[in-house]
Structure 1
């Protein structure tokens, strides 16, 4: 007598689109890869180029060396290229690099650079600057570091906004971290505008298009599924916000995982519908890995849920633009 193969439980997988890499992350990774091709190894990178272990480990294997501070770079390698991460750096970092006569490439996301410029404009116009963001995040450190110490006040919560006391009678202005929860930020801004009606807002929304689009996709899918997985690193702000958005949208099982080996299968017992997205620094390879892992255990049908189209791309640093055609030819 032959055994009958146990039938797999059906699982409807709702795949959010857009998801994963944004233009700024894609540009930053490309800068490291092209620098390695043009200048050879090692190429140094200050801080993780993006917050994703899989990406960082892949670049390490190609010859990138990650450091937290420039002083960690050996003196005998001071002529090697050093790249600043997509999150941006305080002004003191390129100044330090110049003092050390280092050659550096800036992979700061252009949308983060936009916030830096806003901060400088407000400062020049003698406004008191408030930054809505999370303490300790490298983007926040970089943005606050565009202006003299003590110039920028960090506002993390609505309670902070209620408690804030202006330092002077100068006009107020606010800027924001690019990877925040759209809803949380709206609440903080509402408090500030109610208390200070004349506060100057960003000319254009600071929260980046990719953060907004990925959160909107999750809001669309999360209420309709039994569980939601966000692929991303625990230190990735935009990935953490996606998990929170899913939970607030009514999906009780909302988890952030880095890759398939991290899945706690007991969390998904009895699940019939699953939402899947990825933070802006998570590669599509990891999304596919997770779909494969579920397909091994469930009878999976995949439906892609499109909520926005993204066509934005950013220019590379001038020093690497001569590498674009050869790189494209090599992969074409």
Structure 2
């Protein structure tokens, strides 16, 4: 029986050879840890749908952020859960808002940790939508000023980067202009450029208490069936001044990550979202999979698709495994 001259299995014979030939390497430097800030002191509320994740008061946020930093994780992204909500989401841009206070405290204690803030209104509005409501519709243009005010308040608090996740048209340009006009031209924008209207966000809405009180978000988040539109969204955000382009979710949209990586010459991030995390944790609990191996395979696939940065609730668990 004749064989080809090249036998790929030669390079898979042992772990050392496999390591030498590995095309994609996952590093702790690739990871960003999402954290949820809530009012109070000594608060550590378990998130039932996301095992090992918590709503944390600022004092406990600092402790968790330090644990992450000690593992080598370079950055966190903060989401806020205010004590009161209203139609305009005013706590999103309040000087003493929960995220603003969390940023100040974390940067004071951990100045070298990169603190990114999610810029959106859904956690802060009583209706749960990501912008100003006119009747039953989110008013795109009326929302832009509120988002820019939130981003500016985060920058003033000491945030290293802002990440608008609302999917309003033109919000990157509005935020960029507002930051520049207020002497924050050094603050980068990580844009949720291709954020799909996904069913994988379910556990997050429990964590952030941000489920819409009527309707859904299909009029502003992307249709899961569309790919070319994601390229248009990413290209628009690049033109408006984004510094990093994000795809969310990650696993059902690996093709989108790959296509944007080919089209855009900026860094690409991907959000390994709550539903992706929780499914693995649930299957692991049932004994159906090896949770650690599936976690690492999942994160590696996101990196292989083209993401330089991965926002993931696995960040600390993965970092500990990488370090070990």
| TM-score computed with the length of structure 1 as normaliser | 0.31
| TM-score computed with the length of structure 2 as normaliser | 0.32
Larger Rg: 1
- Greater length-normalized contact order (CA 8 Å, ≥ 6 residues apart): 1
